[in-house]
Each structure stands twice: as structure tokens, then as C-alpha cells.
Amino acid sequence: MADNELSQALGHRERAIAGTSQAHMRRRTDPNVRYAHPYPELEKEYTREQCAALEELFAEADFDSEGFITLDKLKKFCEKKMGRPITHLDAKKIIALGDDDKDKKLNLDEFMRLWMKVAAGQAPPACGMEAVMDDNGIRPDISKNPNFTDNSNKAGSMKNRFEQMAIADQQKDAHDEDIRTEHQKLRQRQREEAAEKKKLEERRQAMKNRGALFEQQ
């Protein structure tokens, strides 16, 4: 039975990575039966419950069930989860961080591995992804993974989270100020263009009037 479970899990994972099906892990309710982990290569980092939560988050982000998360989908997902917009630059950095096959989008496997990099502090510092990770209970255990070093404890993580939120607020204020400045510059250019257009029209009218006087003479 274990071999059959493992075979089904691996086949399901391959279809999800290829984008041909949406992953939905079967829920296990019998504590007396040991089931194969649905993602054997991630067994050290994620529990089965975390994998289920990750699949649900992936399905939520991939709202049109295409089998992958694009830049625009990620921005909408982050805004929904954090209650504030994420910058376009941070979204591009997050996609690049998890995009192992360089196709500029995230499949399920890349999405699950992305959070390891977030836990290791590799995501943009003020992007808010660590808060999303903790709020949804999907922080992976990367202490046994030689590719990552988790230097944060629970208290440090909370402190880092509040620091990230403060930085994000500062960046949002700066972004809003930049937008206001750009709008002011745009309005100024529009006023200058309108004034120039008015002067040009006045000159044309003056030339037209002089032409009419010459014709009368």
C-alpha cells in the first residue's frame, strides 16, 4: 500500500509541475495509519498539513487554474494576503527567486520551494512574504537542509516581521509621494502645453487678421 501511495503522490506531483492538473492532496484523518509523504523530497522541510496548506495557497493564487503563477497573479495574491499592494519590483524579485526553470512564472513545485528561500531571508526585506508565511503556518523547517541557514528564532522572526512592516509602510509613503510628485509634474506640463497652444492660436489668429487687412487694401 505504501508503494502505491508513493507512486500516486509522485505521479500527481509530476502532473502539477507540468501544469496539467491542479494539485489537491488527499486529507489523512486516521492517526494510526502511516501514509507516504505526498512530496518525499520535501519531507524534511514540510509536514503533510503544510503541504495541504501550500496547495490551497497555490490554488488561491492560480485563480484561473492555469497551473502556474504569473507576475500579475502574484501581485494580486500578495495584496489580498497582506492587505496592501506589493511593489512591481518586489514582485519581479520574488518570481525570479523561485523561478528555477526561468520561464518567468511559478509552478507548484517552485512555489513550495520558494518559501524555503523566504524562510532563509532571501526575499526582498520589505515585501511582506515572511508575514504571509507565518500567518498561514507554512514556515518550513530548513535547519536540516544544507542549502539554507535559518538564523531566526520565534522572537527574532516576530521582530523581523514588525521591522518589515515598518519598512513597507515607509516605502508605501515614499511611493505615494512619488506618485503625487509625478501627478503635479504632469499637471504642470499640461498647463504649459495649454498655454503654449493658446499662444500659438493667438499668433495664428493675428496673422489671419493681418492677412484680412491686406486683402481689404
What DSSP string runs through 16-49? HHTTSS---PPP---TTS----SSGGGTTT--HH
Report how far apart, in Å, the C-alpha atoms of 119 and of each of 9, 201, 202, 210 are: 25, 63, 66, 77
**Which residue, chain included where needed, has cell 506589493?**
86
Q: What is the DSSP letter of 76?
A: H
pTM: 0.56
Q: Which stretch of 65-79, 86-100, 182-196 has the lowest confidence by average pLDDT? A: 182-196
| The CA-based dihedral angle spanning residues 22, 23, 24, 25, taken in that order and rounded to the nearest 10 degrees | 170
Return the C-alpha cell found at 24.
Answer: 489537491
Q: 86 by DSSP, 3-state: which?
A: coil
pLDDT in tens, 24-74: 444 444 455 555 788 888 888 999 999 999 999 999 999 999 999 999 999
Name the superfamily (CATH) of residues 2-151. Answer: EF-hand (1.10.238.10)
Q: How far apart are CA 190 and CA 21, in angstroms?
A: 51
